[in-house]
Structures are given as C-alpha cells and as structure tokens.
Chain A
C-alpha cells in the first residue's frame, strides 16, 4: 500500500513537471511568434534615434557657424531645433526600451503578482507585436486591424504577463482564422479583418446576473474582445476548443493549448472567457474581468 502510494506520487510528480514543461514550451512558441514582430517594432524607434542624432550633429556644426557670424536669431532657432530633436531621441529610446521590457516580461515566468495595468496599452502592444511577427514570417499576410479602446477603463488589477498571453493567443488564433487559404465566402472583395475592442461595463443596479464571475463588491467589469471575420467555428468543434491539446490545425501549427491556458488564466483572475461564433461570418472571443 505504501509502495503503491509512493509510485502514484512519483507518477504525479512526473506528470506535473511534464505539464510545466509543456506550458513553458507553449510560452516559448508564442515568444517565437513575437520575436520577429519585436525586431520590426524596435526598428522604427531605432531609425528615429539614428536619424535625429545625425541631424543634431549637423545642426551643431551650423550652430557653431552662426555663433561665428554673431547671428543670434539663427543661433536661437537652431538650438531650439536641437532641443526638439533631443526630446524625440529620448522619446524613441524609451519606446524601444519598453518593447524590450515587454519581451522580457513575456518570456519570464509570471510571478503571479497582480499590478494596476493599462489594459488598452497592453492590448495594443500585443496586437502590434503579433501582427508584425506574422508579417515577418509570412510576407503575403495582410489584414485590416481595427481597434476601439474605451478610454474610461483606466488601470485594472491583473497579472499583466498572463493577460497579455491570453490576448496574444486570441489574436494569433484570429490571424490564423482570417489567413486560411481562400476567403470564407470565396468572394474577391473579402478583406481579412481582426478587431480588438475594450469596454468598461457599468452595471447600475449591480445586476450582472446570478452567476456573475466578478468580485462580489464589484459592480463594474471590463471586457476585452478579439474578433475576426474568418470561417467561424463549426458546432461540432465548438464544445472542444477549450480542451487541452484540442486543435484543428496541422501538426506543427497548433499545440491546442492556447485556449485552455487562456481559459485557466482568466478564471484565475475571477473572470470569464466566452466565445460567440457564426459559421461563415466570424468569431468573437470576449474576456471579461472584474474592474
């Protein structure tokens, strides 16, 4: 009996460590998607930094010439330009910095700490990274991105790396859905479109239904919606999509872990992840979180 218990315990341990490895490898896979996007995103601020620095070097030469000529008004105008460029250099330096920090945050295992987070900025960052990541891998990929960020949201207490991963998973799935060969309706006017929306939802009477998943004291929740105009999800598939390892994608293209991990993360935040889909029309995933 004791030996049996020991055996079971050791098997359980092995399973747990395998699971942790799988989760880590899913994380690294999505990091892989991101690196190309990150490289592209950093390129823009770096170009600005290099360019404005070069312009400033030229301007300083001109400044010295104007000093020689005692042309005070020209000196003032040039030094004003130098100062403006300097602030651009600082701005784009910080922008590159934030991108690298975001990347590190994503690969680091989350410390599980909740912190007040700007949901709109988080969503936008992952949208851009995912888009450029895919574009860099598949040059023919193109999609219209629509964003609608509710400015009233403010800061929400979440584990940013975790919710970031959920958003990334949903966006990656949406891009895949709109890029499947041949548009869903086969018409030539089809424009692959992925939209991300955020919403602060106020409930005047605290009337969010009996099984509401937000904290009891909360009368507000936020929603992050990721939608696409892809093929939609057939009924036969719909009740399986949140199961671990369920995938309809060819080997190597899907792990089937994205939605199940996303579901767990949102649950751990006291929120809800739901899906609305219509075959031939598209799919919308909605994350709702207590505000």
Chain B
C-alpha cells in the first residue's frame, strides 16, 4: 500500500518511518511525505496519483488540509485516493467540513499509532 503523509512538521517523516519500520521492511507499506498541501498536489501530479491513501494534517500554513482534500476529491475521480484527515482541533466544524468534502476518515492528534494501524489493516 502506498501512503502519502502530509504535515508541516518535518519530524513526522522520521516518526512514521520508525513507527512503521516493520511494515516498511516487509514491503507492506510504502510511504511518501509532503510538507505542505502544495507539495502534496505536486507529488500526486508527478506520480500519477501514486498514493492509495493520503493522511493529511488540517492546520498547515498556506493550503490547508481541507483545501487539499477538496482538490483531491474534485480532480482525481477515477477513483480518488482515500483521504484521512488529522487535526489537533477535534472540533465539529472541522469534522463536518472534512466529511462534506468527502474525507474517508478523521483522526485527532496525538495520533494513536495502534488505532491507525488497525484502520490501515482494515483498508488492506
């Protein structure tokens, strides 16, 4: 499974690589990282929408995670990748907007990696 992680905190990359080191080693999951919404769109263009699943932070400078979500769900409809939104603000407003824009799931920070792994298994 190909997962694109989008977050403006760069250390998220090292964290995911360590948290999923077994899955990466066993070639179960391949990760790509983008540090802004703009970078994420660029990645999707360059790689012919290579990601099956996108995990995106909502609160980022520049293009917000919700804007990114809207772009993805509007543009890539054959079929669009799954998108899970992650936010530090677990508020109804963000949740409702994300769902209206077609988010497939919604997580709040701090990310519980056990929960996330369960969800990924269910998708696979």
Contacts and interface: CB of A to CB of B under 8 A. Distances in A.
The answer to whether A and B interact is yes
Interface of A: 40, 43-44, 46-48, 50-52, 55, 59, 81, 84-85, 88, 92, 135-136, 139-140, 142, 144-145
Nearest to A78: B21
Given A43-B110, A55-B18, A48 B89 contact: no
A132 B19 CA distance: 28
A52 B89 contact: no
A55 B113 CA distance: 11
A47 B109 contact: yes
A81 B18 CA distance: 8
Nearest to A84: B14
B15 interface: yes
Contacts of B62: 144
Contact of A44 (B9, B14, B64, B91): B9
Contacts of B19: 51, 55
A47 B86 CA distance: 14
B88 interface: yes
Interface in B73-118: 88-89, 91, 93-94, 109-111, 113
A53 B89 CA distance: 24
Nearest to A88: B11
B62 to A, nearest CB: 7
A139 B88 CA distance: 11
A43 B109 CA distance: 9
B94 to A, nearest CB: 7
Q: How large is the interface on B (under 10, 10 to 19, 20 to 34, 35 or more residues)?
A: 10 to 19
Contacts of A47: 109-111
A110 B33 CA distance: 43
Given A43-B88, A44-B109, 19 more contacts: A44-B9, A46-B110, A47-B109, A47-B111, A50-B110, A51-B15, A51-B110, A52-B18, A55-B18, A59-B18, A88-B14, A92-B11, A135-B89, A139-B89, A139-B91, A139-B93, A140-B93, A144-B61, A144-B62
A89 to B, nearest CB: 11
17 contacts: A40-B88, A43-B109, A43-B110, A44-B9, A47-B109, A47-B110, A47-B111, A48-B9, A48-B11, A52-B18, A55-B19, A81-B18, A135-B89, A139-B91, A139-B94, A140-B93, A144-B62
A52 B110 CA distance: 13
A145 B61 contact: yes
Contacts of A59: 18
Which among B59, B64, B111 has the highest number of chain A CB atoms within 10 Å? B59
Contacts of B113: 51
B88 A85 contact: no
Nearest to B91: A139
Contacts of B9: 44, 48
Interface string B1-26: 00000000101001100110000000
What are the nearest 4 A-B pairs in CB distance? A47-B110, A139-B91, A55-B18, A139-B93
Nearest to B66: A142
Nearest to A138: B93
A51 B112 CA distance: 9
A52 B61 contact: no
A81 B113 CA distance: 19
A59 B19 CA distance: 10
A20 to B, nearest CB: 37
Contacts of A50: 110
